[in-house]
Amino acid sequence: MSEPEPKPGAALRPAAPGPAKSSVLNLRVAAAVIAVVVMALMPYYLTDFWLLTGLFAMAAALGAIGLNILSGTTGQLSLGHAFFLAVGAYGYMYFSGDSGRSGTHDISGLGLPPFIALILAVLLAGAVGGLFSPISGRLRGMYLGIATLALVFIGEHVMINAHSVTGGYNGRAAEPMEFFGFTLADEDPYLEVAGVEFAKYERLWYLALALLVIGIIVARNLLRGRPGRALGAVRDSEIAAAVMGVPVARFRSMAFVVSSMYAGLAGVILALVFGRMIPEYFGLALSIDYLAMIVIGGLGSVGGAVAGAVFVTVLPQLFAHYAASLPLVVESGGDGVGPTEAARYLYGAAIVLVLLFSPGGLAGLVRRVRTPRTTPRTPARSRSAHSKEPQGAAS
Amino acid sequence: MTKLSEIVLNGLALGSVYALIALGFVVIFKASGVMNFAHASLLLLGGYVIAQLHDELGFAGALLVGVVVTAAGAGLIEMLFIRGLGKVELHVLTILTIGIDILLTTELVRRIGSDKLSLGDPWGAKSVEVFGANVAQARIAAIVVAVVLITLFFMAFRYTAWGLSMRAASEDREAAALMGVRMKRVQLVAWCVAGALAAVAAVFLTASPTPGLDRTTGFVALKAFPAAVLGGMDSALGALIGAMMIGLTEALAAGYQSDLDALGGGASGIAPYVVMILILLWRPTGLLGSKELSRV
Amino acid sequence: MKPRKGTRAAAAVIAILALSATACSTKEKDKDPAPNGSGNAGQLKTGAGVSDTEIKVGELSDLSGPFAPLGKSVTNAEALYYEQLNAAGGVCNRQVKVEVKDHGYDPQKAGTAYTELSGKVVGISQLVGSAIVTQLKDQIEKDGILTLPQAWPSTLLGKKVIQVTATTYDVEIINGISYLAKNVGLVSGDKVGHIFSDDEFGANSNAGAKYAAQQAGFSLVEQKIKPTDADMTAAISAMKSAGVKAIIVSASPRQVGPIMGGTETAGFKVPVLAHSVGFHPQLLALVGAPMEARLYVASPVPSINTDMPLLTKLVADYKAKYPDQPIDQGVLSGYTTAAMFGEALKAACKAGDLTPAGVMAAHRAQTSLDLGYGAKLDFSSPDKPPTYQTYILRVDKTVPSGLKTVEQAFESPGARTYTLPKPS
């Protein structure tokens, strides 16, 4: 177990951007707004393949932000993130779906309006995360990590056997999202904007983008405010945090709830995008993907989580798409290193290299490029200043 | 009654194999403070080397080379990746081992492809009768070998200089270093020991009656996680007890599946995890794990 | 965050960007390729995937995941078929071009790979992985392109666009049990074991086994296993203590091998019936003797090493084209599936409609297609498999596929009286 080192202060330093910061902040806001607008224009240019990849990446980004709050900021290792995504996805399908048949089984549903179902599914995921708090409150470090591993396996078993809710192996179709008669699907109503047909993926793009923007803003505010500092203190030293009056147990389980809600939201988006979810999707590999995202992106950083999610989601697609024009990579089915393998190598290597040479992940790299004067403002930043970096990283 | 004794014996044999893997987890955890997720690929590496060489070198020779290669592989991981990192957060190290596992597994799976490889073990399909139950010879061999190796391990832990250093190191790393314990060597040896145990486990995982090594053989390591954790991550004895519990639970849940229908069938796969959660709720650091003491 | 000056400046930039962007979007909507001129080929109607010289067929396979062995054999065999078809002049004076995408059994990759095919191909002549088909089936139905999956659960029935290519698992096991009952002498009242994997394949097969057992008066001892399990000793102990007279296995080679080995070591040498997807020639090196003695394989196609003109030619051609690749049942499955698709293309060409809808209509109009290995295939009903027949194969170490046909295509009485699970 990591030995608790009392090092108070740093993590709790109040976020007080000096007056000199405001212009920097202005610039950042402007950059963010431009980024959002560029994203909003994407459906005019991207083909279905890239739209779908982008949708997966946005869903993954939301999930990664959630896991980052839990593992990056609070330091609770979770291998069970896939389970909470599943809760969100199946929760949405259950709340919005009608009772009927899927394959050989009867399935039930509440038939609620999709938007209400989305909110309920996110709340449900949070509640399930809260139910895990007797375990998350008691276990530390690796014990918690392996206990969450159990969630994935037990969850898979439940998903396969709870036919009436999940549809079993066959999965279950998801109702399309709908706002006052406007459906986020190919038809109903037919929509064309500036000569481009707005079908399912184009429409979902804006929903996902809006949710992602909200998710990022909420997470940033959360982490910069009191809760974020408290969570960082819990990670650095529970005892020190407790001494300073942070209710440790409550914050630990709060992190679990918030993280599960993000995962649930990601699950709902995935269900909408896929149109049908099967239990096989939510395996251990998915949990590990999310861990990889936050590590590659940079533990504790919201922007890093998003970057990591994009990296992990888009990389295999790039390889698959451009396999023919890459040197050393043979097309699928041939002998030698195929695109899938090449993507796996790069993915594994990225994790290892990032941790060895830039433990702050992509976010840490960006930070290092910038002026070193910037004093740590968020608890996330304080960590890299305090944890010993490997010798190799300094050069 | 034969059914019960058959199931119990097989459960113990399965537990012995888990014990070999779980001991590896514990040794590494004690030395480096990390849960080694790359163990699955080390196991696969050991099996793959033995499968490739047994035709030329015979089973014993191949086994020896396999054990050495896997031990060296584990040692290499320690030297290249773990050592330099020094003191970082627990899950950073853990995730690092996941990255290593992805690299190594991808390469091995690419080589193994869709093949099912024989390791050329000498037991074949032969069986012996114990307490009226027919049990594969390989399973008995697994128990015997595990008992021998684990006894050797405990003796080494107790009586050799390395064992003393290990124990000192897991008590207090800095104090041990100050007392002149060569931490680097202690850690390196720990990783090598774990690798060697994994290679031996690979043999019994792929021997009759579950013949053949394939790309998914390494997954078994995932079942040794609960074993190591429920016994207590830093207790070798705990790992042994945990492994036996997991092996027996799994075998009993599968063998008496028809009596457990209410759980939706096929519950034996998740039984180890359920047992683990229940025990952790009762004892948050496992059965024999040392309590986390906090010095303020 | 409060709005600041920078925001306003950004807003201006954005407005400009937005205006210019909407004005000149370059996105080509690949979903509606302009219907090709009906000039050259007289009245021929064409649509997605068909140009004046080329017909594009999609394949969505697993070449890097758990089903890679099947995926590779099928992909190779399909390539061989289309090569021969092109050498013989193609279809409608057009060469067939295959576009293969690998999904690695990952639903996310399958989803994106599908978008690269839909709208650009006339149909999909290979889709590996039951779960992947399930994942994509709603979308395939909406896009209306004929798809031939390499998976045979009856839950895939009921959609006009998805053609299950052979006898479904449940019907196959009904036929298999009837053969077993006759040939190893099972009588009413006997106990029969069923070890099945906890997935769609196992569940579907279990439905058939239940029906067959009830019809014949057997009592079925069920044992569910995880698809990733390799240790079968506990399952075997349960079977042994229940005293079953035969074991039916609906699982992958990963489990069939240990079951053969485990029953042998336990001295429990009962006959075992498995599906052809549960057999792999490499098992012979590991548990050859027990398999030779008492394994029966129920299959929708004969052994590829059967002495039939089509099959001997296929084996020879395949060996010539892929000398290093193993010859297994996947080769036959791939070749016949491609042939099924080729016949649909030819029929569509004859009918003068090579649009995706035309190909599907032409395909569904075939009621008695004979591909040369015996079975007559009837594609007219989406709710039924094209055939109810099953072959029984047994182990033969002397041939490359490791299997020989011991019973030609037959249909047991239970095959048609069994009610297929109501499609959704």
Domain CATH code at residue A79: 1.10.3470
* Optimal mutation site among C128, C231, C232, C256, interface B, most CBs of chain B within 10 A: C231
d(CA A54, CA A35): 14
**Mean pLDDT, residues A10-24 taken together:** 51
B268/B249 Cα distance (integer angstroms): 8
Residue B259's CB: how many other CB atoms inside 10 A?
11
Nearest one of B5, B9, B47, B6 to B142, comparing CA atoms? B9
Domain assignment present for A123: yes
How many other C-beta atoms can be found within 10 angstroms of the C-beta atom of residue C417?
10
- Helix, strand, or coil (residue A332): coil
Q: Output the CA–CA distances (angstroms, integers) from residue C354 to A198, C39, C83, C149, C283, in the order listed.
A: 28, 14, 20, 21, 44
Cross-strand partners of C405: C393
- Determine, yes or no, domain membership for A269: yes
Residue with tokens 């960082």: A232
Long-range contacts of A364-367 (CB under 8 A, 24+ apart): A364/A298, A364/A301, A364/A304, A366/A303
In percent, how much of chain A has pLDDT > 70?
82
Span C259-310, pLDDT tens digits:
998 888 888 899 999 998 888 888 888 888 888 889 999 998 888 888 888 8
B237, burial (CB in 10 Å: exposed 0-12, middle 13-18, buried 19+): middle
Instruction: Note the pLDDT tens digit of each residue in B165-213.
Output: 877 877 777 777 777 777 788 888 889 999 999 999 998 888 877 778 8
Lowest-confidence region among A317-321, B18-22, C404-408: A317-321
Mean pLDDT over B128-154 rounds to 84
Query: Which pLDDT value is given to residue A58?
Result: 95
C199 in contact with chain B, both atoms CB, cutoff 8 A = no
- Which residue did the predictor score with more confidence, A290 or B94? A290
What lies within 8 Å, CB to CB, of B178 at 6+ separation is: none
Q: Which tokens sit at B113?
A: 């492809």
Helical spans, DSSP H, in chain A: 21-41, 48-67, 81-96, 114-131, 133-138, 141-161, 163-166, 200-224, 226-236, 238-243, 248-274, 284-297, 302-322, 339-357, 361-369, 379-386, 391-394
In whole angstroms, what is the distance from residue B230 CA to residue B239 CA?
A: 8
Q: How confident is the model at residue A382 (pLDDT cuts 50, 70, 90)?
A: very low
Element (H, E) at B90: helix B90-112
What is the pLDDT, as a whole number, of residue A308? 92
Decide if A10 is inside a domain. Answer: no
How many angstroms separate the CA atoms of A68 and A215, rounded? Answer: 13
Min Cα distance A43 → chain C (Å) is 9
C1 chain-A contacts, CB cut-off 8 A: 29, 217
Chain B neighbors of C268, CB-CB under 8 A: 134
* Mean local confidence (pLDDT), B27-35: 85
What's chain B's average pLDDT? 84
Q: Residue A17: its pLDDT value, please?
A: 46
How close, in Å, is residue B260 to chain A by CA atoms? 14
Minimum CA–CA partner of B116 in chain C: C282
Taking the C-alpha atoms of residue B223 and residue B244, their distance in angstroms, rounded to an integer, is: 12
d(CA B236, CA B150): 9
Is there a contact between C138 and A276 if contact means CB atoms under 8 Å apart? yes
Q: How many domains does chain A have?
A: 1
What is the percent of chain A where pLDDT is above 90?
A: 23
Residue A36 pLDDT > 90: no
Q: Are A77 and A303 in contact, with CB atoms under 8 Å apart?
A: no
The pLDDT value recorded for residue A377 is 44
Which residues constitute the domain of residue A384? 48-394
Q: Which residue has the tokens 């809260």?
A: A130
Largest CA distance in chain A: 66
> C6 vs A34: CB contact, 8 Å cut-off?
no
3-class secondary structure per residue, chain C: CCCCHHHHHHHHHHHHHHHHHHHCCCCCCCCCCCCCCCCCCCCCEECCCECCCEEEEEEEECCCCCCHHHHHHHHHHHHHHHHHHHHCCCECCEEEEEEEEECCCCHHHHHHHHHHHCCCCCCEEEEECHHHHHHHHHHHHHHCCCEEEECCCHHHCCCCCECCCCCCHHHHHHHHHHHHHHHHCCCCCCEEEEEEECCHHHHHHHHHHHHHHHHHCCEEEEEEECCCCCCCHHHHHHHHHHCCCEEEEECCHHHHHHHHHHHHHCCCCCCEEEEHHHCCCCHHHHHHHHHHHHEEEEECCCCCCCCCHHHHHHHHHHHHHCCCCCCCHHHHHHHHHHHHHHHHHHHHHHHCEECHHHHHHHHHCCCCEECCCCCEECCCCCCCCCCCCEEEEEECCCCCCCEEEEEEEECCHHHHHCCCCCCC
**Mean pLDDT along residues B128-149:** 84
For the purposes of burial, counting CB atoms within 10 Å of the CB of A294, is it exposed (0-12), middle (13-18) or buried (19 or more)?
Answer: buried
pLDDT at B154: 86
Q: Does C66 touch chain B (CB under 8 A)?
A: yes
Counting every residue, how long is chain C?
A: 424
By C-alpha distance, which of C65, C264, C300 is closest to C172? C300
Residue A386, pLDDT > 50, answer no
Enter the tokens of residue B271.
């039984």
Average pLDDT of every residue of chain A: 79
Least confident window among B113-127, C43-57, C225-239, C330-344? B113-127
A14 inside domain: no
Closest Cα partner for C109 from A186, A83, A46, A280?
A280
Contact (Cβ atoms closer than 8 angstroms) between residue B133 and residue B6: yes
- Does the beta-carbon distance from B96 to A291 stay under 8 Å? no
pLDDT over 80 (residue C238): yes
Q: Which amino acid is at A99?
A: S
Q: What is the pLDDT of residue A103?
A: 56
HSE of C29, CA atoms in CB hemisphere, 13 A: 14
Chain A residue numbers touching C31 (CB-CB < 8 A): 48, 197, 199
% of chain B surpassing 90 pLDDT: 23
Provide the token pair at A142.
């690796």
Residue of B nearest to A147 (CA): B277
The pLDDT of residue A90? 94
Q: How far apart are CA A364 and CA A301, in angstroms?
A: 9
ipTM above 0.95, yes or no: no
Q: Give mean pLDDT, residues A303-331.
A: 78
The pLDDT, as a whole number, for residue C1 is: 44
Q: In chain B, which residues have their Cβ closer than 8 Å to the Cβ of C198?
A: 265-266, 269
pLDDT digits (tens, 9 = 90+) for C129-156: 888 888 888 889 888 899 999 989 888 8
Which residues, other chains included, contact A319 with Cβ-Cβ below 8 Å and sequence gap of 6+? A326, A329, A339, A340, A342, A343, A346
Lookup result for tokens 């069986």 = B127
- pLDDT, position C4: 52
| Residues sharing a CB contact under 8 Å with residue C8, sequence separation 6 or more, in sequence order | none
pLDDT of residue C12: 60
Yes or no: say if C353 and C112 are a contact pair by the CB < 8 Å rule: no
**Cβ atoms within 10 Å of A218's Cβ, excluding its own:** 15
d(Cα C111, Cα C107) in Å, to the nearest integer? 6
Look at residue A217 and tell me whether its pLDDT is greater than 80. Answer: yes
Q: Do B98 and A359 touch (CB under 8 A)?
A: no
pLDDT for A374 equals 46
pLDDT of residue A2 exceeding 50, the answer is no
Could you report the per-residue pLDDT of A167-216, keeping only the tens digit for each? 887 788 888 888 877 777 777 777 777 777 778 888 899 999 999 999 99
Instruction: List Cα–Cα distances, C280 to A221, C319, C389, C400, in angstroms.
Output: 57, 18, 22, 11
What residue has token string 């059965």? B287
Q: One-letter amino acid identity for A368? A: R
What is the predicted pLDDT for the residue at A209?
93
User: Residues A312, A293: contact at Cβ < 8 Å?
Assistant: yes
Interface probe for A, chosen from B39, B83, B91, B296 (most Cβ of A below 10 Å), is B91
> Domains in chain C, start-ordered, CATH in brackets?
45-167+304-387 (3.40.50.2300), 169-299+407-417 (3.40.50.2300)
Q: pLDDT tens digit string along C369-396? A: 888 777 788 988 888 899 999 999 999 8
Q: pLDDT tens digit string along B222-239?
A: 888 889 988 888 888 889
- Classify residue C423 by burial, with Cβ atoms within 10 Å: 0-12, 13-18, 19+: middle
- The CA-based dihedral angle spanning residues C177, C178, C181, C183, taken in that order and rounded to the nearest 10 degrees: -110
A221 has pLDDT over 80? yes
Sign of CA dihedral A280, A282, A287, A292: positive
Q: Looking at the complex, report in whole angstroms how far the Cα of residue B89 sits from the nearest Cα belonging to chain C.
A: 32
Q: Would A302 be classed as within a structural domain?
A: yes
Give the CA angle between residues B184, B106, C202 to the nearest 5°: 125
A145 contacts in B (CB within 8 Å)?
35, 91, 94
- Res. A95 pLDDT band, cuts 50 70 90: very high
CB-facing half-sphere around the CA of A317: CA atoms within 13 A = 26
Q: How many residues does chain B have?
A: 296
B127 forms bridges with which residues in the sheet?
B136
> What's the distance, CA C118 to chain centroid?
19
Spatial CB neighbours of B281, under 8 Å, sequence gap ≥ 6: A134, A135, A138
pLDDT at position B193, please? 92
If phi > 0 it is left, if psi is from -120 to 50 it is alpha, else beta; for residue C423 that is beta
pLDDT digits (tens, 9 = 90+) for B32-64: 888 889 999 999 999 999 999 988 888 889 999
For B132-149, what is the mean pLDDT?
A: 85
Checking if the pLDDT of B264 tops 50, the result is: yes
Least confident of B271-275, B288-292, C112-116: B288-292
Mode of pairing for the β-strands spanning A196-197 and A192-193: antiparallel
Write down the pLDDT at residue B161.
84
Whether C7 and A317 lie within 8 Å, measured CB to CB: no
First-to-last CA distance in chain B?
Answer: 56
Plot region of C93 (φ>0 → left; ψ -120 to 50 → alpha; else → beta): left
pLDDT surpasses 50 at B124: yes
Token code pair at residue A232: 């960082």
Give CA–CA dist A149/A155, Å, rounded.
10
